[in-house]
Amino acid sequence: MSSCYDLVVIGAGSGGLAAAKRAASHGARVAIVEGDRVGGTCVIRGCVPKKLLVYGSLVHEQMRDAGSYGWPVQEVACDQARLLSSVRAEVDRLNARHIELLATAGVELIRGWARFSGPNTVQVTPCHGDDSGRELVLEGRRLLIAAGGRPHRPAIPGADLAWMSDDMFLQQRFPEKVVVVGAGFIACEFAGILTGLGVRVTQLVRGDHLLRGFDREASAMVLEGMRDHGVDVRLTHSPAAIEGSPGALTVLSQSGERLDCGGVLLATGRRPALAGLNLEAAGVAVEGHRIPVDADQTTNVPHIHAVGDVTDRVNLTPVAIDEGRAFADTVFGNRPRRVNHDLVASAVFSQPELAGVGLSEEQAVQRHGEAGVKVARARFRSMARALPKTGSRCLLKLVLRADDERVLGCHMVGEHAAEIIQMAAIAVGMGATKADFDRTMALHPTVSEEFVTMG
């Protein structure tokens, strides 16, 4: 096997896979290096298995509500081991499928951990368990860093006793009580999952609100809904230490409170996975914890590029995929294009679900001033909650530029929020105004019709 390639990709996650396959389709000779499973965070320990757990956790609520629709169901408990095993089996299938797709695309998959040995060369150390013992040196005309991110473990005493988000998918079952630390989407999503699976959850939040960066009114609705769902969310609470042994832990808060539990999840953010890449050998600059790149995904070294979470811009799977494809189209396909990072829809699969696109109300006011922003909103309980008479309220919200009522942001909390916002993103991206929304005939009875009927 020749060691010279048109492109060497470090990391077989979403961005790396997209770039490798697209570059190969343009005729480039491509190698992709991966020491872990193929698929990256999203497929192996992120979006996909997490969403499957969300679906599993929602069944309890559906069964609880079934009686109000004439389907009385006796109380049952979740077979957590079976659910987690099924999720892992699906991840195995997807991992195998991604390997097949690489082969079909003509991309050479090289197993091992990559580190730069020079500006154009990458040294690959075999994976643990590979008895070949051969270290390879790959040379690339272009090199792409797509190593992704890793959970960040905070520096508190006993932090090693806690789970990180990656560990959640490896459990056989969850304990009766879990403390979740964090305010971001991972913390909120796992708090909902665990609660739905019958776990008593206490969530410690350092600040005074959840989901920093999302619309504040929307995040407040999520907080209200999570508490209705049974999550004990404690704002302005931080852990000072974790004591005990696995299965019998105590979280000491900075206020002196002691919380006994069977497990602790530290969902306290992620950082680019740059350790071990030996970027200095290639002369690649690092800014803080990230690799800075220009609009063409190029680092300070003209033939070395980076996409996805290592750049720490918009750390979402579809963004990494588009960055990877844009890079390949520009460099190998003679079809230059750039990714628009300004209008990216995002969702939190919390319970209730949150999704949005465009500017939050706070961002719009910061950009246009209070007088330059108008807001249209609707708050209500959906028809799905009419018979059970339980559940949290929905929020649908349009953030408008005051002078022409152009929609600057569209946000929703409630059932199917992500599915609805995906379509709304098209309208926002086209520059729709409130009048355009108003002219759209409502589809009744639906939750989403409130977007086109609100005053």
Q: Which residues are catalytic?
A: 444
Let me know the angle formed at the C-alpha of 444 by 438 and 449, rounded to the nearest 5 degrees.
Answer: 40
- Strands 200-204 and 232-234 come out as parallel
360 within 8 A of 411, measured Cβ to Cβ: yes
CB 358 within 8 A of CB 410: yes
DSSP structure string for 24-70? HHTT--EEEEESS-TTHHHHHHSHHHHHHHHHHHHHHHHHHHHGGGT
Q: Hey, what are 38's tokens?
A: 């193929």
Whose tokens are 């690799």? That residue is: 291
| Residue 285 zone, left/alpha/beta (φ > 0; ψ -120 to 50; rest) | beta
